[in-house]
């Protein structure tokens, strides 16, 4: 058996830019403060982790739970409004690769996203990617990407130790994979990495990186 895990924004969906914009707008709507938009400057590049660090910097940690709730609520509304106006596009080949892997009895499939689950599912649905019954862990579960990934693996394999491959697009994805000793495949060109795919159209190449033969 093989475990295959996907990030969402920038990996399965062309949602990286508008998602970040909606996030910054939500923080400003609640706090009246501009948040640092260089995500690489944060220790934990997740929706909850970024906000936690901003609140700590701003001296607002005592109000953390309420501010997280408010920002999340505004963010969900902003993403929903955006998707109604302009449905998100999938990264080329994403839906076909997901469907192929779901049908493979050798593969245990899961999703680990640094976003909040509510917006993650909205975006996948908007792009026409069927995530029904695919175990998903998100920033709802933890602020740290490594913990989110570990939870996703637990959900899909019930604690069994199988070889795992993670498809992601950012330096934080690569770093988390290195920390967890997980095979990393880069989607897109935000960084440089030997195992890389410009999109998800080449299913045989994806299987090659996972380490199994295409059915």
- Residues 111-123 as b or e (16 or more Cβ within 10 Å = b): bbbbbbbbbbbbb
DSSP string, 22-33: HHHHHHHHHHS-
Q: 109-126 pLDDT, tens per residue?
A: 999 999 999 999 999 999
Tell me what the mean pLDDT of segment 189-209 comes to. 97
- Tell me the pTM: 0.95
The pLDDT value given to residue 213: 74
* Lookup: tokens for 126: 């908007």
pLDDT at residue 9 is higher than 90:
yes
Q: 117-171 pLDDT, tens per residue?
A: 999 999 999 999 989 899 999 999 999 999 999 999 999 886 778 999 999 999 9
pLDDT higher at 107 or 159: 107
């Amino acid at each position: 058996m093989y475990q295959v895990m996907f990030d969402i924004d920038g990996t399965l969906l062309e949602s990286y830019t508008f998602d970040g914009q909606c996030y910054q707008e939500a923080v400003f709507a609640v706090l009246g403060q501009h948040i640092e938009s260089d995500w690489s400057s944060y220790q934990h590049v997740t929706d909850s982790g970024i906000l936690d660090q901003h609140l700590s910097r701003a001296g607002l940690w005592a109000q953390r739970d309420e501010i997280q709730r408010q920002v999340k609520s505004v963010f969900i509304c902003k993403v929903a409004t955006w998707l109604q106006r302009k449905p998100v596009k999938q990264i080329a080949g994403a839906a076909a690769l997901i469907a192929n892997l779901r049908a493979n009895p050798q593969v245990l499939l899961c999703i680990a996203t640094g976003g909040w689950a509510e917006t993650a599912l909205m975006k996948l649905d908007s792009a026409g990617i069927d995530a029904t019954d695919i175990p998903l862990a998100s920033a709802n579960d933890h602020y740290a990407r490594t913990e989110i990934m570990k939870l996703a693996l637990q959900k899909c394999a019930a604690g069994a130790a199988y070889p795992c491959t993670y498809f992601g697009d950012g330096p934080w994805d690569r770093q988390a994979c290195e920390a967890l000793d997980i095979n990393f495949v880069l989607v897109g060109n935000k960084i440089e990495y030997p195992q890389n795919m410009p999109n998800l159209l080449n299913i045989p190449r994806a299987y090659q990186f996972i380490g199994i033969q295409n059915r």
